[in-house]
Amino acid sequence: MTADLSCDRDLAALAGRLDDLTAVVGRAAAAILAVDPATAGRRQKSDRSFVTHADEAAQAVVLQGLSEIFPGLPAICEEATGLPRPDALGQCFALVDPLDGTREFLDGRPEFTVNLAVVRAGVAVLGIIAAPALGRIWRGFLGSGAQRLRFDPARPGGFDEIVPVHARAQIPGRIRVAVSRSHLDADTSALLSRLAVSETIVCGSSLKFCRVAEGGADLYPRLAPTFEWDIAAGDALLAAAGGVVKKPDGTPLRYGQIADGFRVPAFVAFGDPAAAREIVEGGTGRHGR
């Protein structure tokens, strides 16, 4: 059964297919686990990052699933070639990173994910993130809360142990920060040096958003460039869990920036929106990108 998704109408159609979209992401996660990293057929892209058979298999699963659930919904994928025409994107579209953390996957670390987001009028309203090697899925729908689920790769269309997750209020002097294992840049390190960081959580991929969304971390800053498909699902998840993602100057992110190649110069993810102003005014707002 398919459904029509129109940005001119209520998002009930999208909310009503959340389980179906979650199942699609679960199947993509299973497709990744079916690939042996040692024989994954890696190749290097122009930006020197790797793409493997696992990336391609997961992307095929997600695109097929989206086409069946929401025919005609544009989907922007990391591994797709070329950019859409501005008039072809529309107000509603999907952003897909079929394997976020390819380096972790190839190195045998469990910190890789599948990211699926749906954007409406520039805002990420739905986000689903699967961690295949951990058997977990996080999902959020703006205004409807966020959840963590368990899934079994042996039956990738099913999931259970659905529990609500909430970002936590920041405790002064006890800031837990999630940072990238592979992409920690000098500007982000300089920001952290100005904060009262009590714990640093190092991990790859969009798992950092999940840690903030479930209250395991307070802050995830990245003051180096990334792409919309890397962060849109985490943005929607965190917003649904009560947090917020902002540019370093304190303004919100807007998705669908075709002219910029879907590039995001920098961002900071906060578990506690009340802490955003203090941290931005404390230095990230001077970060010119």
CATH of the domain at 94: 3.30.540.10
Are 98 and 37 in a shared domain? yes
DSSP assigned state of 46: T
At 82 the pLDDT is 59
- Residues forming a β-bridge with 149: 137
Domain count, the chain: 2
Last residue of a domain, one of 165, 184, 205: 165
Q: Does 5 fall in a domain?
A: no
Mind listing the pLDDT tens digit for each residue in 59-99? 999 999 999 999 989 999 987 655 666 566 888 999 999 99
Determine the structural domain holding residue 55 and report its residue range.
12-165
Last residue of a domain, one of 106, 139, 165: 165
At 51 the pLDDT is 83
pTM comes to 0.91
Around 268, how many Cα atoms within 13 Å sit in the side-chain half-sphere?
28
Last residue of a domain, one of 132, 165, 198: 165
Q: Where are the beta strands (DSSP E) in 45-144?
A: 50-51, 75-77, 92-100, 113-120, 123-131, 136-141
- The Cα-based distances of 153 to 56, 73, 139, 240 in angstroms read 18, 27, 17, 26
Burial of 269 from C-beta contacts in 10 A (0-12 / 13-18 / 19+): buried
Give the closest residue to 113 by CA, choosing from 16, 231, 9: 231
What is the overall mean pLDDT for the chain?
Answer: 87
Q: Does 44 fall in a domain?
A: yes
At 154 the pLDDT is 79
Q: Does 51 fall in a domain?
A: yes
Mind listing the pLDDT tens digit for each residue in 112-133? 999 999 999 999 999 999 999 9
At 156 the pLDDT is 61
Mind listing the pLDDT tens digit for each residue in 6-62? 554 457 788 889 999 999 999 999 999 999 988 877 665 555 567 889 999 999 999
Q: How far is CA 212 from the centre of its chain?
A: 12
